[in-house]
Amino acid sequence: MKLFRHLRLRFSIRALLVSIAAAAIFLAYHVHWIVQRREFFRTQTVAAFEARAAPATPAPGLLALFGERGFTQIAMNSNLPKAEYARVMSYFPEAALADFCFYNEPIIE
C-alpha cells in the first residue's frame, strides 16, 4: 500500500486549469478550421470531389474526430487571385486544386 501512495500523481489546481485551457484552445482551433471549411463552401462557387474507387482521403489533423471528411480534389474558378488559392490550400491541405471556369448564365442555343 505504501508503494501506491508514492506513485500517486500530485498536481496543483493551477496546473489542472492550465492543461484544460491548453486542450480547449487546441480543440477550438480545429473546430474553427471546420467552420472556415464549411463557410468556404457556402460562399464560393466550387465543386469538391471525394475519391470513391480509391481509399478515402482522410481529413487533416483532428478534423475527422469531429466528423469532417477529406476531399481529393476541389475545382475552383480560374479567375481568382493567387492569395485566394493560398487561403483555400490552408483550408483543404489534403485536396488537389483544379482550375475550372464556372458559368452562371444559362446556355442559350
Specify the pLDDT at position 69.
Answer: 82
Grid cell digits, residue 27: 480543440
Q: Which residue has the higher pLDDT, 52 or 109?
A: 52
pLDDT at 45 over 90: no
Query: Torsion-angle region of residue 61: left (phi > 0), alpha (psi -120 to 50) or beta?
Result: left
3-class secondary-structure state, position 96: strand
Beta carbons within 10 angstroms of residue 74's beta carbon: 22
Share of the chain above pLDDT 70, in %: 70
Return the pLDDT at 35: 92
Q: Is the dihedral of CA 26, 31, 34, 39 positive or negative?
A: negative
Extract the C-alpha cell encoding 19.
492543461
Query: What pLDDT score was predicted for residue 47?
Result: 64
pLDDT at 28: 94
Does the reported pTM lie above 0.85?
no
